[in-house]
Structure 1
């Protein structure tokens, strides 16, 4: 059973599933679903769509070793049968173990790098708390001044209410005269 990859989003396309598009120059394109086919027909770039593997790989969301290695190179077809050889099998098993070890190490580095942002945010938050603790006397002074002016604490918060007296605006009609003067008329509510 040959499992192809979608030309657009790099998902697996199983036999008898998806859409095959053959261009006039006999190049075949396999798509996993109509969404990929429609986006291909609209000439959209998979690198610019966040849900494709190429976008995720380019922006550091997928486990990929090198940006020059694209996803198609990982899953190359190897259909040539090889004769059984004990030494070859032993070397292959050793190589598989080594590859697995390298993959796990890279995953650890990848997760550390992804979590570094979270650690930086936590560090910044601690620094902010420290700054607030150092300037707490200023905040207390501000609160004391507000109490002395008899401004309630609820009013000091940004709640959309106006502090102090509220003046009602009235529209005034005015007419501009030819000689440059202004003639005021009655107030309009």
Structure 2
């Protein structure tokens, strides 16, 4: 896979809805769990090693051909106890599918349905684009981190350079998680993120969709 294509898939400007999803950060800020750069870094590290690992392992398995898209959907559902988290994943998956149809119009995307999980969509897109399972796992882990980092920066009015430095410090964690993701499907969840996701849907006027 070309480096430019890989960077494009990991770009925060990719129009798949990531800019309106905080990955639980908005509720974490409201709850006092995340309040400064140090707590942002702790939250991102936790997110990388849980949600990031799970999503990356599913995407890698789909990309490598070891997991069919339909089965991947069921596996993703089983790993997301919170209905709100599943809805957020499918909303972004639909955005990625919409983009993919424009980039590769000759590809048959019918196997993904109308609202696939983001991990499933990334896996199929990775396969079509010629990515290796570890490359697409890296993209998934990286975007899991950066989406939440950007949301935290906006919500807390943090120094952009400080948040960027935080994500750089977490680069090795991202690489290790991507490498672990290709070894097999991760089967875990994060109760904190599940609770934050469900609380968020009850918020009267949220700034983010998740």
Quickly name the TM-score band, shorter chain normalised. Answer: under 0.3
Question: 1 or 2, which has the higher strand percentage?
Answer: 1
Task: Pick 1 or 2: higher relative contact order, CA cutoff 8 A, min separation 6.
Answer: 2
Query: Which structure's CA Rg is the greater one?
Result: 1
Question: 1 or 2, which has the higher helix percentage?
Answer: 2
